[in-house]
Structure 1
Amino acid sequence: MKKTLMATACLLALSQGAQAAGEAKNVIFFLGDGMGPTTVTAARIYKYKEEGFLNLEVLDGKARTARVKTYSNDAQTTDSAPSMAAYMTGVKMNNEVISMSPDTKAADASGKAYLNGKDATCPADNGKPVDTILEIAKSKGKAVGAVTTTTVTHATPAATYAHVCHRDAENTIAAQAVPGGAGYNAKLGDGLDVLLGGGTRYFKPKAAGGDRTDGRDLIAEMKTKGYAFAGTGSELNAIDAKKTAKLFGLFNSSHLNYELDRVKNKIDEPSLKDMTLKAIDVLGQNKNGFFLMVEGGRIDHALHGTNAKRVLDDTIAFDDAIKAALDEMQKRDPGLANTLIVVTADHDHTMTFNGYGKRGSNILGTVKNYKDGTEMKDKDGKNYTTLVFGNGPNRPATRTNLVEGAADKTQVLHDDYLQETAVKLSSETHGGGDVKLFAAGAGSAAKTFKGTIDNTKVFGLVKSAFGF
């Protein structure tokens, strides 16, 4: 009798495991580039105060959480190329490498990068491509897409659909997205169904003001392959998704503007929320489901510049896109029964939350003593901001008292204020710490997105949720 009960329990467990695998018809993978734990906390306070929550922290109210290790194959601190590629392929690779095998090098033995401007010069025997979850989903009949606030050829979006030995080969990466053209990535079948972001320069020839050295106009080529094209936010908004099977949009020669500047200057670029919802409208028409990657890419750029205000505004814009996607998918798929949503970051940065500040203080301001609200001072009697960086450009030779105002960029609440740094570098670096992951919906059950996991394991969890 005991053996029978044990056997029944084993069969039940196996059955439940089988049901957990393959639950997801759709996957939306949100990536906040450089959005480490301090950025999440600071953005939460910036928008919702200490007691609040970001949408990404709550998701459907039943989110699973994990800590993710981000080191690359050759570095304690990763860059965006191998970290995103680890999520997309399950393979550890070297810094600057996009979705290639671990033996792939971005530079020769002398340290010279395999690059000629924005064109790759990768040797034929320098590693081999490894399949991405987007390519696998496409081969299973699903619609696929990538949305970003960076150039669509930047490291994070490129890792979903391209394979190259050096991330800066953006001309080469662009060609991999054009169905049937020279250099096309045949693993994409009939092509990406949605691609939205910046980077017109890598799709236009030099004669037309672009960076391409082969004379090709890839935008024109994409149009001949049936892609509806948008070059402004207004044009994207005007596209009827129900009549659109393929959507391609480039809204800036380079990266899209920071959210603060887009709104303040009324720039005709779409928000990340706008792009995400339009992508879901197009991809959602596929009866087999879809895979969509959405990147808040300029969070990272503001962090490199030690400009915390733009960091937080872009993080909130990323969070707003997540909320919009959640609301839309709940309409289409109540309870997210067939949809997995994953939110994470590719790496940390050196931004630090410091001092014993008073609750309710402006997160971008100077530290106020929690006991009496007076300015807290360093050993030299100077005040300091709550947010500072471990390294970066703004390290004054002599510290002076800071003004909590916005009259000019020397005052800490100004849009262009750069937080102070401990080590002086021309640009702030990534940090090597773990990042957060939040998952909700189909395939996010216990014993999956939980605990401390390697970034490569996330690929397997998403693949299993799809049932691949």
Structure 2
Amino acid sequence: MHKRLSLLLAAGVFSVGAANVAAAPQAKNIIFFLGDGMGPTAITAARIFGHGEAGLLNFERLERTARIKTYSNDFQTTDSAPSMGAYMTGVKINQDGISIKDARAIDPERDANGNRTIDKCAPNDGVIVPTILELAKAAGRAVGAVTTTELTHATPASTFSHVCHRDAAYSIARQIVPGGQGYNTALKDGVDVLMGGGRHHFTPYDKASNPKGRADGRDLVAEFAAQGYAVGRSRADMMSARPGRKFVGLYSADTHMDYSLARRPEQPTLSEMALKAIELLSNDPDGFFLMVEGGKIDHALHDNNAKNALADTVAFDEAIQAAIERMRQIDPGLENTLIVVTADHDHTMVLNGYPKRGSKVLDIVHDYATGEPKKDADGKTFTALVFGNGKLRPDLRADVDSAQAQADGYQQEAGVRTVYESHGGGDVKLYATGAGSAPFKGTMENTQVFHLMKAAAGL
């Protein structure tokens, strides 16, 4: 696929930064939770949204905390792909690259159907680096990736594939189908559990019924089944899956999964997906590695839509709590299990304007003394949550009332007009508990998280 790509073995190749890794208990199991775009303000706002100012999200109760720097190899403000790749490989990666070092991404070429399907690297460019999921698989452990985005999206893709551009989703898809052309052989007999949306990247093109389908005509869903996978398209399919067989669930035909506030009943919740993944993976006596992404947090923030971002952060938190409770049943005291919760990057959302304690975080700001709506310098009302940039920056501001501000689809205003709201370049938070969690502290490079997980698991 790429010219001059070399697979670098884990033994000592990327040991820089590992010097600070303290001796740690062996974590037979690792669950890595990634809240896409869940920056510090999103956490604060979701806490107030769900539990009030004095409350806590469940993951905020975890005993180990750290501050994570997020810049990529070439940008101050990172894209999701290099940030997740840094967590998974321990290497700083260029913008848009999926677990591939020193690749200069080129937009995928369009096929005859108009879809961008063909991955391209610059000539003689790119070095594949092993992911922690691949290392866990090589060590004989079960592995899985669960997301509310398309399964081929940047975060899950960075655990199990290697391409020069994150948008080469069709190339990413074929890398996870055992036995087929383009398969990533570092995955051995295959990823044991895969769940997300984006079924069109796995099914053949049809002008009427599947216009975003594969131009190569391959039915990767059928190929999964031929390789012994149980295949699910709905919550019911997932719930009927049983340990002892690999499972792939693709719960949306041609896009990501739904926001939690608008979830169709045929789609499982993130909590249900995480618990089912644990049920299927924990059957392996050697242990497992599982990545769980709350990916729709990021999508809502890009759309300047705080309510869905906060609701999906709460849903993500519920999935974390459900998983921890289940693991405490399997592994009391988490003596053999490491839990890590973090984000890949921040966004430009801020909490502003001195809202009174006890106010609804999605509401407009009210005057502390009179309780009347507070006005800006132009005499207009404004919301407590606003964005630094995004689509909603009117030339002339208009009043917004409480009912508008708290509606599910309301889009908060932005200071700078852009096509869509961008990521923020600030540090993010990390929380950890269980075996090998003690070294997660202070301000850390995102690449160091890989080394700490690798050391804790003895990989």
Matched, 1:310 2:318: no
In the aligned structure 2, how far is the partner of 1:122 from the partner of 1:390? 33
Matched, 1:245 2:239: no
Matched, 1:384 2:386: no
In the aligned structure 1, how far is the partner of 2:373 from the partner of 2:66? 37
Aligned to 1:148: 147
Q: Secondary structure at the match of 1:115?
A: strand
Gaps of 5+ in 1: 1-16, 108-112, 406-410
State, as a whole percentage, how many aligned pairs show the same letter. Answer: 56
Matched, 1:460 2:448: no
User: CA 1:18–1:425 in structure 2 vs 1: closer, same or farther (change >3 Å)?
Assistant: closer
Q: How does 1:35-184 map to 2 (within 5 A)?
A: 35-59=38-62, 63-101=63-101, 103-107=102-106, 113-116=107-110, 117-122=116-121, 125-184=124-183
Matched, 1:434 2:427: yes
Q: Secondary structure at the match of 2:405?
A: coil
2:408 corresponds to which of 415, 422, 430: 415
- RMSD over aligned Cα atoms: 1.4
In the aligned structure 2, how far is the partner of 1:284 from the partner of 1:335? 16
In the aligned structure 1, how far is the partner of 2:120 from the partner of 2:411? 37
Which amino acid in structure 1 is aligned with residue 418 of structure 2?
L
User: CA 1:400–1:147 in structure 2 vs 1: closer, same or farther (change >3 Å)?
Assistant: same
In the aligned structure 1, how far is the partner of 2:326 from the partner of 2:226? 31
Contact 1:55 1:323 in 2 (8 A): yes
Aligned to 1:268: 266
Deviations 1:391-449 (A, max 9, x none): 001111111221111xxxxx11111110000001120000000000000000011xx11
Q: How does 1:254-333 map to 2 (within 5 A)?
A: 254-262=255-263, 266-333=264-331
Which amino acid in structure 1 is aligned with residue 258 of structure 2?
N
Superposition deviation, residue 22 in structure 1:
4.5
Contact 1:358 1:373 in 2 (8 A): no
Matched, 1:363 2:364: no
Contact 1:359 1:370 in 2 (8 A): no
Aligned to 1:211: 213
Q: Which has the larger radius of gyration?
A: 1
Q: Secondary structure at the match of 1:121?
A: strand
Contact 2:105 2:120 in 1 (8 A): no
Deviations 1:59-115 (A, max 9, x none): 3xxx210110000011000000000000000000110000011x21102xxxxx243
Which amino acid in structure 2 is aligned with residue 255 of structure 1?
H
Superposition deviation, residue 121 in structure 1:
2.6
In the aligned structure 2, how far is the partner of 1:138 from the partner of 1:324? 25
Aligned to 2:14: none
Superposition deviation, residue 267 in structure 1:
3.2
In the aligned structure 2, how far is the partner of 1:154 from the partner of 1:418? 24
Superposition deviation, residue 237 in structure 1:
1.4
Q: Secondary structure at the match of 1:159?
A: helix
Aligned to 1:194: 193
Deviations 1:361-415 (A, max 9, x none): 011001123344332221112121000000001111111221111xxxxx11111
Aligned to 1:6: none
Which amino acid in structure 2 is aligned with residue 50 of structure 1?
E
Deviations 1:242-294 (A, max 9, x none): 3x4201000002100111101xxx43101101110000000000000000000
TM-score (norm 1): 0.90
In the aligned structure 1, how far is the partner of 2:370 from the partner of 2:329? 49
Which amino acid in structure 1 is aligned with residue 407 of structure 2?
H
In the aligned structure 1, how far is the partner of 2:141 from the partner of 2:131? 14
TM-score (norm 2): 0.92
Gaps of 5+ in 2: 1-19, 111-115
